[in-house]
Structure 1
């Protein structure tokens, strides 16, 4: 870190090491928020920030279905490439990223069961390192399930058909990982 950069941080303490610096601010955000009289709940969450985030989400929620459809198309396209050319070093990361993005976003977009199926697909891909041993048919069933959940707008976790489909795919993946790898994947 240059001397000029350090001068700009005159309110911080800087501990220098051979390969890195640790910058400790003089004032933390919690202390600053007390000065501006932020409201906190019993768990220490800033209520004003939560309200702003909820308002922003509500404003964006009209676009959630469109975003989910686009993510499903991206996942379907990745699956189609895998079906044509097999799973490999170029295709696995694209398929995994598409499934991973749905796993992380679908619940926020109102599709918790699509997130669950995407999680099962990610666990399948995480759990079997050998591309040749990943059953493309099972991958395709996951993609089709996610597509059906979004197409049918199965937005609640109480949709019996989508819930059964999600649970069954997760069970098949667990059984397969035990059969192939000796244990189910514990990857997040």
Structure 2
């Protein structure tokens, strides 16, 4: 078979099938230097490994931000500003914690976010429910280095989620659009 031009389709016919190979005009654009080529995933993983010593400090800062937001809620009640601060702090932990190696903190923060999002009236949410979430997140981050505590952390996050879901299902019984979101499984990694 004559070598086809790079701009033409190549068709190989066999007894039971055909193989069609499309031209790849980008093939010449890729340059591999020597035997080793640049692996962006490996570079990203190495960068994360180099930064991992700072993860604990970053999580401590995020926990302090959550605690400060919660103190504002306690002092001023739930206003638009205090609600947004508390939600943003818990949402940031939810998004960052698993990447930083704190998946159980992410699960607890997700549960707190759900309360803030789906409670019809935050002023009627039992203080202990929010308080327990904030304290649990802080404890999970503080005790993270203790490997023997991981099972306790998982169970704590699981129970917080169950209590939050039970509360939200009860207060949203007449709001079916919220019930659907409340009863949906979490997409946050729990382990």
TM-score (norm 2): 0.71
Query: Residue 148 of structure 1 aligns with which residue?
Result: 139
Unpaired runs of 5+ residues, structure 2, are: 1-23, 33-37, 174-178
Name the counterpart of 1:35. 29
Q: Name the SS of the counterpart of 1:173 in structure 2.
A: helix
1:175 aligns with 2:166: yes
1:124 Cα offset (Å): 0.8
Contact 1:125–1:134 under 8 Å retained in 2: no
* 8 A Cα contact 2:144 2:150, kept in partner: no
Report the counterpart of residue 118 of structure 2 in structure 1: 127
Shift of 1:34: 7.0
What whole-Å deviation, never above 9, does each CA across 1:86-140 have from its counterpart, x for those lacking one?
1121100000000000000001111000000000000111111323233332111
Partner of 1:110: 101
Number of aligned pairs?
Answer: 152
Distance 2:161 2:25 in 1: 45
What residue number does 2:86 align with? Answer: 95
Q: Distance in 2 between matches of 1:31 and 1:161?
A: 55
CA contact (8 A) 1:110 1:155 kept: no
Distance 1:33 1:95 in 2: 50
Partner of 1:22: none
Q: Residue 61 of structure 2 is aligned with which of 47, 70, 87?
A: 70
Residue in 2 that maps onto 1:84: 75
**Match of residue 56, structure 1, among 30, 39, 47:** 47
Partner of 1:139: 130
User: CA RMSD of the aligned region, Å?
Assistant: 2.7
The TM-score, its normalising length taken from structure 1, stands at 0.72
Residues 111, 155 of structure 1: 8 Å contact kept: no
Encode CA deviations 1:120-175: one digit per residue, 9 max, x unaligned: 00011111132323333211110100000111115779812111110110000110
Aligned mates of 1:33, 1:141 — CA distance in 2: 56
